[in-house]
Chain A
Amino acid sequence: MPSAEGAFSWQPLPAWLAAIVAFGYLSLLFAVAYRADRQARLGRSLTDAGWVYALSIAVYCTAWTYFGSVGRAASGGLWFLPIYLGPTLVMLLAPVLVRRMVRVAKEWRITSVSDFIATRYGRAAGLGRFVSLFVFVGVVPYVALQLKAIAFAFDVLTGVPEATAAGWWSDRSLWVAVVLVIFAALFGTRHLDVTERHEGLVAAIAFESVVKLAAFLLLGAWVTFVVFPGPGAIVEAAQARFGTAIAPLDVVDGLHYGDWAVMILLSGLAFLLLPRQFQVMVVENVRVGHVDRAAWQFPAYLLLINLFVLPVALAGRLFFVDVSLDPDTYVLALPLAQGQSLLALLVFLGGISAATSMVIVESVAVATMVCNDWVAPWWVRRRQVAELGHAEIAGTLLWVRRVVIAAVLACGYGYYRLTGESFALVSIGLISFAAVAQLAPAALGGLFWSGGSRTGAAAGIAVGVLVWSYTLMLPSLAKSGWFEAHWLETGPWGMVWLQPERLFGVEGMAPLTASVVWSLGLNTLVYVLLSLVFPPHGAEAQGARRFVRVESSAGAGGVWRGRVGVPAVAQVMARFLGEERTRELLLGYARERGLAAVEALEVDAAFVRFAETMLAGAIGGAAARLVLETLLEEATPSFDDVMHVLDEANQIRTYSRMLEEKSRALEEATRRLQEANEKLTELDRLKDEFISAVTHELRTPLTSIRALAEILADDPDLPREDRLRFYRIIVRECERLTRLVNQVLDLAKLESGHGEWQPEALEMRDLVQEAIEAIVPLAQEKQVRLEVSIEPGLPAVWADRDRVVQVILNLLNNALKFVPSGAGIITIRVGRQAAGEVAVQVADNGPGIPPEFIPHVFERFRQATGGLAKPPGTGLGLAICKRIVEHLGGRIWVESLPGEGARFTFTVPIAERLEPGNEGGGHDDEENPSGR
């Protein structure tokens, strides 16, 4: 077993090498971020993956984790753990808690944790300003801590306490800070609309998380398995050397279980609400679903990075037992002492990555916060902004952010240089944690309790901050020698009960625990009590309900009683979001509401809320509201009141809309009924007309028959000639009646679809000849010439024999009626029509059909007289023909010019096309038996 007892010396690495490696690494970071941004622009998101999201959350593990955990474990055993147990527990709740935050943030386009709180409490600009300022102040020491860690890492690696080496310009941590400002400004302020995520930034952070984990695991594995034969061996050696390997849980540094609980709570809250955590977890979240996977991926990361903390800590203690070496340096000192320069460099890089990732994200998050809460609202209020275009506005605001980023780092650096060595890494971090935790009652309460009000939140935070400053910040400043510390013991003005670290005389708690208990406790109490006394109202209540329920803002309608149109609002949006993006957003919004175009949108309460939310993504909630308020100036009775009125009016409107919809449905039903009724009436009228026509056609022959029969009966002495003439007429009229009755029945059968059809493959030639044979005697009687031409080789048609003959006969009879006696010519042509049809044409040289009558030719009881006396016939023949032809799948039409005869044509489909089972041909019958 190796032992370094009494042999403390290591070979430091040259300073230039450390500098090259560090800045080389930072260049790599630029490359990663640049590539991810490029990929994102090409539509291939690298960060749209659950594990990238989980890795980016690991920005939680800062240099404090990296160097401090081992330091902590070396002196306090398991005391390093609660800082990771808090986040682990929070992540177990992530599917409820974080998911909700993400969804709310996405819906309201929340840009930061201060925006989150301000938005929840009715776009409370003042509250947002206060929170962002407080967070800024609270975070600066934390940033300082990272810069210090970087300097510290350089010192350990190169063996030169550089802070004392030369002037400020030789301070490498300063140059690292400058590079970080450039990086954060480059990749953290790419678009004004922060809800358009920073892909490059997130990718770089995830990459850094991999680096620090890999480096730490490598170091841990090397220490545990190479330097020592295994974790058991380390524990045994420690027990042999120190009596106990790990300090008992309840008596570490005088800390107790209560301190554990408070620490877990504190770290959990900080994990949720630290600006950088909120940034990566909520603002940069690509998909809500990633939260669920991160719920186990991130705790797994924490487990891995803490896996070797205890072995390394014990190994360090064993190694440097006789040397008073800061345990925070163990991770670097161990490989250096063993001459493992490469490993030491890697560990150094891990530390750099842990520190830089924190600084980058934190500064970007704080910059967004400060810009949106302080600069943007103040700036957009100024008149001249109204004249600026999108490019100028976005450009200016982005530069504001960059300046704030630089300011954050400058403050951090200044703080670090001022406080110097007076702070332990851990204590700075915990002060920041306790500061951020003051936001928890307002933020988390606001997420789950719609009763939480602005007054309650503001007062709670104020009280919390006050108590935090008094019990934690001031004592720590005093202890580091900024001012006299004796009042810590005596209390201010000798009031012992106001002793900062033993407030109200309560003892037995560690200072941090006491501070957290008092500040967070009073904060929560004030928040709840004042919220109950001054409940939210108006827009605040509406926002509160929507936060808690995560309602969709798209659902609410309502009319904005303003004269401002959509184009005006769109113009304002375009100034902050850009023309193209605005158009996209508006179109998306319009589509969501089922409208085809942006022009169809109306400026209603929902639209204003939408515009406000979209603007909030770019310039923060407070500024967004101000912009819209200025635009919709006529709503002077204050936005809150208007929203309140709209809220109530909305409900009424929803009811009335429902009523309207109902009555519209009723109207629609009525209209349909009316239509059906009209149709029925029309059908009824047609039926009446038909019956009336049939009646007429029946009565007319009956009149002749009856008159003649009565004449015959009355006068038996009638001359034989007259008698015979009358008998003949009676017989003819009886035939006419019979024909009429038959045709009416035939038509009824055709129309009801009950006719008997026996379709088969037929030669049209046969059918035409059959019909002609039947008509020849009549034609001869009238001395009409029949001309027939039939195209040879016609395919068989698929039809009912009797019906087709009936149609041809009808047409021939019809023609015969109209052709002049003695000079009549009827032409019959049979040939192919369009694909798959055989056509029969019957043309005559009669008077033709008047053009106005042609459309009615095939209607029932429409007989053209052609100026002559009424032709014989029932007026049903052509109607029957039409129905037969159509039933067979053919067509029938007529062409005619007055004086030039009429030409009737009908078609019948050929058998090949319609005969069932024809496609398979006759082969089926032959194949089937052989197949079985």
Chain B
Amino acid sequence: MTKKILVVDDEENILISLEFLLQRAGYDVAVAHDGDEALAQAERFAPDLILLDVMMPKKDGYEVCRLLRQDPRHEACKIVLLTAKGRDIDRAKGLAQGADDYLTKPFSTKELLEHVERLLAPGTV
């Protein structure tokens, strides 16, 4: 069964590149441009994993992460935070909000795919 991934970022070009990359890697990909859209998409699309940008208009990544984690329907959904701020404090904050992983921009595509694969591998909780 094809895993579904939701990519959330306010940068159109990042969405373009990640959508292309992940589709080619065999995932079912949906995109969202801000926090609200992300929550709506999560509802509708029910992704197995969300790549979530932190710095976004309206609701930021942390907020989206927190709301998703409050919803039992998304319990199984993996969340990977993407941030352009590479500070330890941001990483800790993200993990505290219930994110499963954390990637600092710019990342290599290989690194991203590895993380995604590992998180979606069966047996991983």
A: residues with CB less than 8 A from B are 692, 695-708, 710-711, 714-715, 722, 725-726, 729, 732-733, 865, 869-870
Contacts and interface: CB of A to CB of B under 8 A. Distances in A.
A711 B33 CA distance: 22
Nearest to A702: B106
Contact of B17 (A699, A708, A732): A708
A870 B60 CA distance: 13
B110 A703 contact: no
Interface stretch (B8-16, B68-76, B93-101): B8-16
Nearest to B16: A729
Interface in B69-125: 82, 84-87, 104-110, 112
Contact of A710 (B14, B105, B108): B108
B55 interface: yes
A695 B84 contact: yes
B86 A695 contact: yes
A728 to B, nearest CB: 10
A704 B110 contact: no
23 contacts: A692-B87, A695-B84, A695-B86, A696-B55, A699-B84, A699-B106, A700-B11, A700-B14, A700-B105, A703-B105, A703-B106, A704-B14, A704-B17, A706-B106, A707-B21, A707-B112, A708-B16, A711-B17, A711-B21, A711-B24, A722-B20, A729-B16, A733-B13
Contacts of B84: 695-700, 703
A697 B11 CA distance: 11
Contacts of A714: 109
B56 to A, nearest CB: 9
Contacts of A705: 106
B68 to A, nearest CB: 22
A701 to B, nearest CB: 8
Contact of A711 (B20, B34, B57, B106): B20
Contacts of B33: 869
B46 interface: no
Given A696-B85, A700-B14, A706 B20 contact: no
A695 B21 contact: no
Given A696-B85, A703-B107, A865-B57, 7 more contacts: A692-B87, A695-B85, A699-B84, A707-B17, A707-B107, A710-B108, A869-B10
A399 B105 CA distance: 104
A732 B86 CA distance: 24
B39 interface: no
A717 to B, nearest CB: 11
Given A699-B105, A699-B106, A710-B109, A704 B10 contact: no
Interface in B35-83: 55, 57, 82
Top-9 shortest CB links A-B = A699-B84, A707-B17, A704-B13, A703-B105, A702-B106, A703-B106, A696-B84, A710-B109, A706-B106
Contacts of B106: 699, 702-703, 705-707
Nearest to B18: A707
Contacts of B24: 711, 715
A725 B87 CA distance: 33
Contact of B109 (A711, A726, A732, A870): A711
B24 to A, nearest CB: 7
B86 A706 contact: no
Given A703-B84, A715-B24, A869 B110 contact: no
